[in-house]
Amino acid sequence: MTDDESPGLGLDLPAQPLEKSAAASPYRVLARKYRPQSFAELIGQDAMVRTLGNAIASGRIAHAFLLTGVRGVGKTSTARLVAKALNCIGPDGKGGPTIDPCGVCEPCRAIAEGRHIDVTEMDAASHTGVDDVREIIEAVRYSAVSARFKIYIIDEVHMLSKNAFNALLKTLEEPPAHVKFLFATTEVNKVPVTVLSRCQRFDLRRIPAEALVEHFRRIAEIEQVDIEPDALSLVARAAEGSARDGLSLLDQAIAHGAGVVTADAVRDMLGLADRGRIRRLLSLLLSGDAAGSLAELDEARTLGIEPTALLRGLMEQTHAATRTKAGGSADPLASAEERAASEELAGSLGWGQLHRLWQMLLKGLSDVAAAPDPNEAAAMVLLRIIHAAELPDPATVIARLQAGGETGAVSVPAARAAPPPAPRAAAAPAPVAPAPEPEPAEDPAPASFVALVDLIERRGKAIRASQLRREVGLIRYAPPELVLKPLQPLGPNFTRELTDDIRAALDARWTVTLGDGEAEPSLQAQEKMAEERAREAILAEPGVAAVFAAYPGTTLESVSSKDANHA
């Protein structure tokens, strides 16, 4: 038996004649050579296999299936396996649909070799038009030639045009009993909901890294390749849950190592930094050794390690330490040395330090990706982390201020907790001080122009109140007389409309006129000036100044209205 006739080979290449020598056969990559030929070989999708098995055993087989998931998790392979399961007739030719197709009957072999006349596989990326769908619609009217079911497998179905989807809807909703549709897509969000509602959907999961490691180990044994366990772990991590991606990387690693695959060779191939280098760099950062950190970065650059890979390694180490500190389960692929390093780091750093380190690395990763020179950006990220490591955490600063520590500054929490002194409270401007809402009958004339505007707003005239705050300045407020200066163009009926609004709010007749004399700034401008005065007063407080001195580069983002009113 030649290599091409052995079990467990791909579905993309028909079997070769016996007289053809193995040396003349073209090399087939591992991703095709080890396509699953049965549901038992499909790794990481146990829930879907169990559901399909129960459906086939009970005869509750849907007329359309939609398989979705990331690349390389087995969508197309599953569709072909379903086609074999539905059309298998068993070795004796008398079997029915089964979750364990025999693989030896004529339908099984023909489907595996891609030559079955009743199983049509179409790539929607290259057949996107409505004419391609019309061919399917015309063909479904005819019974299967030799199989139990006529099956249509449409890969990357989301690539079909809108008209093609619309043309398929009626047939997809009520197909003939002998027709089954199997759709596969990586972008299910692009499939119309009208199509989704007519299909039985299966979401194929990312394959766990430990399952990929075991899968790759078995393949390495079959291929007679000597591969280190750490190298398998690196390939499984880099695969990100995709069996096809992992097998492609494994194929590359075997070629890279000439039949012997080591962890160092895989790191070189993937451009990764080794774990020891990551731990060494992280130790230098936390100890504040700027020169040593930059030297480590330069050495990594010389070895061809990308700055982004270096920062990702630091993030992985920080994440592992944080999970360890939180009591989470350790990475099953991590070595004993890596787990010990995570425990040591978790014990030496507090929660605040771990979170701050993670955020700075995350921000640094985006900076490196956007920078013209990634190596320069990476150096600045490392120096930023070293600088931040020298700063005390907020709890330490507050405790030092409360105890009257080195800064000798007034405690910020004490200043915030203590009631404001009486003179400061008395100095608060009366117009903006909160007061109970006056009853119009008892106090028909508000005490100030600000109170009048507030009253108009409470009476349901929010637009008018906004106009009074932004577009006019007060010249004279002497109830029942009001003289305003326009700061922006007003409507021709402004004074009459405002008079009516005041009469509705106060049940009194007022005289409203517009003048051109000296006027106060608008109420909006006054509020901004009050906020600026409050900002200056807050920045002048000794406790705040001490915090700013402890954290260089800190800024005061905003001032609340309460602070502005008491400024």
Domain end among 390, 421, 445: 390
For residue range 553-567, list pLDDT tens digits in order.
677 777 665 555 554
Domain end among 203, 226, 256: 203
Same domain, 168 and 244: no
Q: Where are the alpha helices (DSSP H) in 371-487?
A: 374-390, 394-402, 412-417, 422-426, 449-458, 462-470
Rounded distance, CA 84 to CA 109, Å?
A: 9
Rounded distance, CA 310 to CA 278, Å?
A: 7
CATH number, domain containing residue 285: 1.20.272.10
**74 pLDDT exceeds 80?**
yes
What domain range includes position 463? 430-520
Residue 396 pLDDT: 62
Residue 395 pLDDT: 60
Residue 67 φ then ψ, to 5°: -110, 120
Q: How many independent structural domains does the chain possess?
A: 4
Residue 166 pLDDT: 92
φ/ψ bin of 489: left (φ > 0), alpha (ψ from -120 to 50), beta (otherwise): beta
Same domain, 216 and 292: no
Label residue 318 exposed, middle or buried (CB < 10 Å: 0-12, 13-18, 19+): buried
Same domain, 287 and 243: no
Residue 15 pLDDT: 45
Q: Is residue 496 part of a domain?
A: yes
Alpha carbon 137 to its chain centroid, in Å, reads 40
For residue range 264-323, list pLDDT tens digits in order.
888 778 766 667 788 888 888 888 888 989 998 888 888 778 888 889 889 988 998 888
Same domain, 258 and 279: no
Same domain, 196 and 76: yes
Q: Is residue 419 part of a domain?
A: no
As a whole number of Å, the end-to-end CA separation of the chain is 92
Instruction: Give Cα separations from 18 to 37, 107, 112, 346 (angstroms).
Output: 21, 21, 18, 61
What's the pTM? Answer: 0.57
Query: Cβ(83)–Cβ(283) under 8 Å?
Result: no
Mean pLDDT (the chain) is: 81
CATH number, domain containing residue 487: 3.30.300
Same domain, 76 and 144: yes
Same domain, 226 and 195: no
**440 pLDDT exceeds 70?**
no
For residue range 197-235, list pLDDT tens digits in order.
999 999 998 888 888 999 999 999 998 888 888 888 888
Three-state DSSP class for residue 189: helix
Same domain, 107 and 226: no
Q: Is residue 562 part of a domain?
A: no
| Nearest one of 73, 316, 86, 315 to 207, comparing CA atoms | 73
Residue 228 pLDDT: 87
Q: Bridge partners of 550? A: none
Q: Is the dihedral of CA 101, 105, 107, 112 positive or negative?
A: positive
Same domain, 197 and 311: no
Percent of the chain residues past pLDDT 70, beyond the cut: 81
